[in-house]
Amino acid sequence: MMLIVTRSRLAGLITKCLLPLLAAAFLILDPAFNYTNVAQAQETRERRSIIDMIFRPNRRKKVTNANTSVIRVKRPRRKKSKTTSDPAVTGAEIEIAKLPDAKKVMVIGDFMGSALADGLEVAFAPDAGIVIDKRTDGSSGLVRTDHLDWPQTLTTYIGEVKPAMIVIMLGANDRQQMSINGKKEKYQTEAWNAEYEKRIAAIIEIAKQNKTPFLWVGLPAFSSPSLSADAAILNNLYRVKSEMAGGEFIDIWDGFADENGKFIASGSDMNGQPVRLRGSDGLSFTKAGKRKVAFYVEKSIRKLIGVGVPAISQLNPAGTIDSAATSPTITNIVAVPPISLVDPELDGSSRLLDQASVPKASGITPRDKLIEKGETIDAPEGRVDDFKWKPVAKPAG
C-alpha cells in the first residue's frame, strides 16, 4: 500500500510535530516566563478605531492590570542654548564708575519715593556725573511726625549729603487723621488742610534756605477710586506750593492712567511697549513702572543740574572718564539774512542755471482761455482725449 502525502498535509505534520518541541525548548531555556501575563496584556489592549487613528493618532491607553508591567520610553529633552554674558547681546546696562566730583541728587519720600529712586538709579547708571542718593522711608509721610519728622530729618540729610538737587515724592501714606496741638483732626477737615499745607511749605523752605533746587513729583492714580481722588487733591496742594516757591512740580498722572484719568495696571513703558506697570496691590510699581516714573523726572534733573551723558570718546575701556580728553568746543553761530532758494546769486552767479532752455510763455493759462474766451487747449498728441482729425497719407504711386 503506497502512502501519498501531499504538500499541504506535509506542512501540517511538520507544524504538529515541531511546535511542541519548540515550546518545550523555550520553557527549558526560560522557566520563569509567565504565559498568564502575556494573555492578560493581550486582553487589556484595546483595538483602535478609525476615529481614534484620525483624531488621536498618538494617544495610547495605559494598562491598569497589576500583573502587567509597562515600559515607558522617555524622550530626550532638548538642551537649552546657553545665553552669553556679553552685555551687548543680553542688553544689560554697563555701569560706569562715577566721578569723584559727581553731583548728588538726593531723593526723599515714602515707598513711592523709593520706587522713584530705584528708577533714577537705572536711568543715571551710564552717567558718570550724577549720583542718586536714596534717603527714603516707606512708612513715612507728612502726617505722622512721631514716626519720622521730615523737616528735621531733611536738614540732617542736607548736612550729610550736600546734594546738588532734591527730589521729593511723598503723600501716599497721608490719608489719615493728624495730631495738631494734641488734638486729633480727621482727614481733609479745614484744620487738617491748613496744617498739611504748612508742613509742605516747611520742607520747601528748608530746600530754599540751603539754596538747593528741588522737584516735587506728584502721586499717580491708584486702583482704589477713593484713593485716586484723594491723590489728585494732594497733587494740587503740592503743585501750588512748589510753583509759588520757585520749584517745579512733575505730574506723572497721565503716564499711569487711561484716557479718562483712571488707574491702569498695564500700559506703555518708556519705549512705547505694552508692559505691566503696577503691582497686584494696585499701589506699588513694577520694574518697568519705576523706570517710567524716572523718565518723567530725569529730563528736569539734567536741565537744572546741567550735567549730561559724557561723550563716548571721553570714555576709556574701563568705563571711566578720560581726564585727558577735552570736550568739543561749541562755536557761536552768526546770524545771516535769509536767502531765497531761487536767488540767482546763491552760487555766485548772476543768472539762473540753464536759463536758455526755459521756454518763453505768453502768460495766459489754460484757465484764462477757458473762462475769458471759452477756448480749450489741444490735448497732447497720442493722449486718449486727442480727437484731432489726422489726414491719412495716400500711398505713393
Strands 165-169 and 130-136, by their bridges, are unpaired
Distance CA 186, CA 189 (A): 6
* Per-residue confidence (pLDDT) for residue 86, from 0 to 100: 44
- Give domain status of residue 160, yes or no: yes
- Give domain status of residue 266, yes or no: yes
- SS3 category, 167: strand
* Per-residue confidence (pLDDT) for residue 365, from 0 to 100: 74
* CA-CA-CA-CA dihedral for 381, 383, 386, 390, to nearest 10: 50
* Per-residue confidence (pLDDT) for residue 337, from 0 to 100: 57
Q: How far apart are the first and last CA of the chain?
A: 120
Distance CA 165, CA 163 (A): 5
- Give domain status of residue 190, yes or no: yes
Distance CA 170, CA 113 (A): 7
- Give domain status of residue 312, yes or no: no
* Per-residue confidence (pLDDT) for residue 380, from 0 to 100: 79
- Domain total for the chain? 1
- Give domain status of residue 214, yes or no: yes
Looking at this protein, which amino acid is placed at residue 22? L
pLDDT tens, position by position, 346-376: 555 666 555 555 555 666 777 777 777 777 7
CATH code for the domain of 261: 3.40.50.1110
- Give domain status of residue 1, yes or no: no
Strands 248-250 and 266-268, by their bridges, are unpaired
pLDDT lower than 70: segments of the chain? 1-51, 53-95, 307-363, 393, 396-397
- Give domain status of residue 51, yes or no: no
Distance CA 234, CA 196 (A): 10
* Domain of 145, in residue numbers: 96-307
* Per-residue confidence (pLDDT) for residue 389, from 0 to 100: 76
- Give domain status of residue 27, yes or no: no
Q: DSSP for 312-341?
A: GGGB-TTSSB-TT--PPP-PPPPP-----T
pLDDT tens, position by position, 245-257: 989 999 999 999 9
* pTM exceeds 0.85 for this model: no
CB 158 within 8 A of CB 212: yes
